């Protein structure tokens, strides 16, 4: 009887270790890639929350492939907005605003495991583009689309970037 329970617990622990290792490798790849399409694929994994704040819409010169990458991340609706906030958690839109709606949103980041949780505040006001998690500012506060990628299960920031369009219309990742 105890042997079966022991095997079951070992399987659960091994699966958790495997998930941590996979998450770490994806997180490492996210924080090192400079290719927007590759980056967008990696951050679209359901283990991450995407926080996006900006004061201008998506660039109109983008290629179809880049537009599709924004759509896959859930950031396609910000096209012509002047001021926006977007929170995508585990692949689903948790919160979005547009134009004159609320310019601040607060919530719990990631999944709650035991007593671990992280509070976030995302705000777009007075020319400030802010993404705070547990009171610490992670937004680069640059012109463009400021994005913070957060690991849901283990509660840490994976990447903080600004997405901008270069002079030929290609999306650049700025760290």
How confident is the model over 84-91, as a mean pLDDT? 86
Judged against a pLDDT cut of 90, whether residue 167 lies above it is answered with no
How confident is the model over 49-74, as a mean pLDDT? 82
**pLDDT of 101:** 64
Q: In angstroms, rounded to a whole number, what is the distance separating the alpha carbons of residues 96 and 78?
A: 9
Higher pLDDT, residue 82 or 118: 118
Judged against a pLDDT cut of 60, whether residue 115 lies above it is answered with no
**pLDDT of 70:** 87
- DSSP β-bridge partners for residue 130: 123
Q: Are 166 and 38 in contact (CB under 8 A)?
A: no
**pLDDT of 130:** 93
- The stretches of 33-101 forming alpha helices (DSSP H) are 36-43, 64-73
Split at pLDDT 50, 70, 90, the class of 135 is: very high
Q: Which two tokens stand for residue 174?
A: 């700025």
Q: In angstroms, rounded to a whole number, what is the distance separating the alpha carbons of residues 108 and 94?
A: 11
Supply the range of the domain harboring residue 66. 2-174
Instruction: Enter the pTM of the model.
Output: 0.86
CB atoms within 10 A of CB 92: 9
Number of domains observed in the structure of the chain? 1
> What does pLDDT average to over the chain?
85
Judged against a pLDDT cut of 70, whether residue 78 lies above it is answered with no
């Amino acid at each position: 009887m105890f042997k079966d329970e022991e095997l079951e617990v070992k399987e659960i622990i091994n699966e958790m270790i495997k998930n941590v290792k996979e998450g770490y490798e994806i997180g490492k790849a996210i924080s090192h890639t400079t290719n927007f399409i590759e980056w967008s694929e990696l951050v679209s994994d359901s283990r991450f929350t995407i926080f996006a704040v900006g004061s201008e819409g998506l660039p109109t010169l983008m290629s179809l492939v880049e537009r599709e990458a924004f759509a896959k991340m859930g950031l396609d609706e910000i096209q012509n907005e002047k001021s926006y906030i977007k929170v995508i958690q585990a692949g689903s839109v948790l919160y979005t605003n547009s134009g004159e709606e609320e310019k601040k949103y607060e919530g719990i980041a990631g999944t709650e495991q035991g007593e671990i949780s992280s509070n976030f505040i995302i705000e777009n006001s007075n020319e400030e583009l802010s993404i705070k998690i547990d009171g610490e500012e992670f937004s680069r506060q640059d012109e463009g689309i400021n994005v913070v990628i957060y690991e849901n299960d283990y509660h840490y920031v994976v990447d903080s970037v600004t997405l901008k369009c270069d002079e030929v219309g290609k999306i650049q990742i700025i760290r």
